Amino acid sequence: MSQPSALINVMTAAAQKAGRKMVRDFSEIEHLQVSKKGPGDFVSNADKKAEKIIFQELQRARPKFSFLMEETGEVAGEDSSNRWVIDPIDGTTNFLHGIPHFAISIGLERDGECFAGVIYDPINDQMFWAEKGQGAYLNRRRLRVSGRRDVTESLFSTGIPFIGADEKDNAVFMRQLTAVASGSAGVRRFGAASLDLAWVAAGRYEGFWEAGLCPWDMAAGIIMVREAGGYVTDQQGSKNMMNSGEIVAANDSLHAELLALLRKARKASS
């Protein structure tokens, strides 16, 4: 399916409209008024404006659907089986520091399952999109996860704990990072989980792991990786990512090996 469905068209149009405004704000980053939400967690006027645009566009197109949004929280709709899960700017810290690596992430849950998603990189105009049973795409090009089978030749990505993280969680992460980095071609941390997942789907990374995530960080990326032929679980090997906040995504050859490395490192730190 190189032609996106009506559902995907609705989602990409919302992301593109918010993205145009976001790029203008990014070019004038020094003029943004920034308020502090919590330790290491910032929200800008651009974040709020992007979420409002996306909400309005999606509600106009699908007025009965429910919402879960990073800034606003839950908005109940008549149709509780369909829920939009939205991160207006994934990579807010990058955005506020003038680093051009951030994305708009819009996922759709249907009956509690990730059904469709778009992840839009507005700086590079790269639209990643996927729908259950229809494949994953970058603009109009079909995506497949990497075909590498050897961990020593593989590149992975992760998210590093920041201010406020539990010391035990930090210790677990450091053991996991050491385990993966010492046996692979490298580990990257670019600061936007949705793009990390999109890049796994595109074969740029062989795998990605992180803990302490929120549903809006993962919803679109989960269906993206699955539709590109990859596997996604939490660190226990279950499909409880949206509740646990943990995710391990990789190609079909290396997911089990990456999961085993992470679980062994976690056990060693307990």
The confidence score (pLDDT) of residue 97 equals 84
Parallel, antiparallel or unpaired: strands 65-69 and 79-90: parallel
Q: What is the mean pLDDT of residues 160-187?
A: 86
Confidence of residue 2 (pLDDT cuts 50, 70, 90): low
Is 217 one of the catalytic residues? yes
Q: What is the mean pLDDT of residues 206-235?
A: 97
Query: Which of 8, 20, 206 has its CA nearest to residue 107?
Result: 8
Catalytic residue among 25, 90, 131, 227: 90
**What domains, with CATH codes, occur in the chain?**
6-142 (3.30.540.10), 151-268 (3.40.190.80)
The confidence score (pLDDT) of residue 98 equals 85
Is 28 one of the catalytic residues? no
The confidence score (pLDDT) of residue 40 equals 44
Q: What is the mean pLDDT of residues 177-196?
A: 96
Is 121 one of the catalytic residues? no
Q: Which one-letter amino acid corresponds to residue 153?
A: E
Catalytic residue among 109, 210, 217, 246: 217
Catalytic residue among 87, 109, 210, 227: 87
Catalytic residue among 25, 70, 121, 131: 70
Confidence of residue 37 (pLDDT cuts 50, 70, 90): low
Contacts of 42 (CB under 8 A, 6+ apart): 34, 35, 36, 92, 93, 96
Confidence of residue 39 (pLDDT cuts 50, 70, 90): very low
Q: Is the pLDDT of residue 8 over 50?
A: yes
Q: What is the mean pLDDT of residues 220-249?
A: 97
Question: What is the rounded distance in angstroms from the CA atom of residue 253 to the CA atom of residue 178?
Answer: 21
Confidence of residue 59 (pLDDT cuts 50, 70, 90): very high
Is 79 one of the catalytic residues? no
Q: What is the mean pLDDT of residues 15-23?
A: 96
Q: What is the mean pLDDT of residues 123-147?
A: 97
Q: Is the pLDDT of residue 38 over 70?
A: no
Share of the chain above pLDDT 90, in %: 80
Torsion-angle region of 194 (φ positive above 0: left; ψ -120 to 50: alpha; else: beta): alpha
Catalytic residue among 47, 51, 86, 92: 92
Is 72 one of the catalytic residues? no
> Which pTM does this prediction carry?
0.93
Is 90 one of the catalytic residues? yes
